[in-house]
Amino acid sequence: MRSSWLPQWFVAGKAIKASPLLFQATSIGNPMITLTLCLSAVMTIACGPSGPSNTTAASEAERTILMLAIAVESADTALITDLFWPEATYDDFANQITYQGIPEIVGYLTSAHDWGDDIYMNMGRINTGPTAAVGEWVFSAVQNRPMGDLVPVATGREVVLNGATIIELQGGRIMRAADYVDTAPLTLQLGGSIEFPTDGVVGPENTGR
């Protein structure tokens, strides 16, 4: 099982480089435009008019997505299990992977703790509807352990990522969730570089967070 926040990297000497495959799923190019349009559509639906009964459902959706952020930050497997239906799916669009069922979803949502310490997951602006919620978040962690075989070094650096999560509810629990995040900043914040076929190299010295 591949880890969360783990782009397709390789190590060349002392440099951490990103594979060109990384850009097939990040915000560089048409894929992210499509994801942005989809996200905007869901947010529009979520912000539609609501009556008293819908207000109660929206409050439940907001509580659920906030609890999801807490579960990621604390790696609370019991809480994750309680939030999702056993047959739920979770789409990791950055790595183009769909996780099916509780064991795979737990592995995905807790995987940052395999390499990171001081993990922080702040769910900021939230838009809700009767059966859905969209949350914008900031994730940070200190990379104190290798990220699998692809990045077998520990830099001790802090990484900060911005993204969004969509959840779809049935009967008060999550049936489907999806994460939208650009993982390219992770490469740069860890001191790596991104090589383009014709445009040279983008490194941490010539880009900001």
What pLDDT score was predicted for residue 169? 97
4 belongs to a structural domain: no
Q: What is the DSSP letter of 85?
A: E
What pLDDT score was predicted for residue 187? 84
What pLDDT score was predicted for residue 107? 98
* pTM confidence score: 0.72
Residue range(s) defining the domain that contains residue 98:
9-202
pLDDT at 98 over 60: yes
49 belongs to a structural domain: yes
Residues 26, 31, 32, 33: what is their CA dihedral angle, to the nearest 10 degrees?
A: 160
Q: CA-CA distance, 74 to 81, in Å (whole number)?
A: 14
Average pLDDT estimate for 125-147: 96
In this structure, what CATH number is given to the domain that contains residue 124? 3.10.450.50
Condensed to tens digits (0 to 9), the pLDDT of residues 143-191 reads 999 988 767 899 999 999 999 999 999 999 999 999 999 988 988 998 8
Q: Based on the structure, what is the number of domains in the chain?
A: 1
Tell me which of 27-31, 75-79, 132-136, 188-192 is least confident.
27-31
Cα 65 to chain center, whole Å? 13
Backbone torsions φ then ψ of 70, nearest 5 degrees: -60, -40
Condensed to tens digits (0 to 9), the pLDDT of residues 38-93 reads 444 444 444 455 455 567 888 999 999 999 999 999 999 999 999 999 999 999 99
191 belongs to a structural domain: yes
Which positions ≥6 away from 143 have C-beta within 8 Å?
115, 116, 154, 155, 156, 157, 158, 159, 190
Strands of the sheet with 84-92, listed across from one edge: 97-100, 84-92, 173-181, 158-170, 132-143, 116-128
209 belongs to a structural domain: no
173 belongs to a structural domain: yes
What pLDDT score was predicted for residue 28? 32
Average pLDDT estimate for 13-22: 46
Band (25; pLDDT cuts 50, 70, 90): very low
3 belongs to a structural domain: no
What pLDDT score was predicted for residue 179? 98
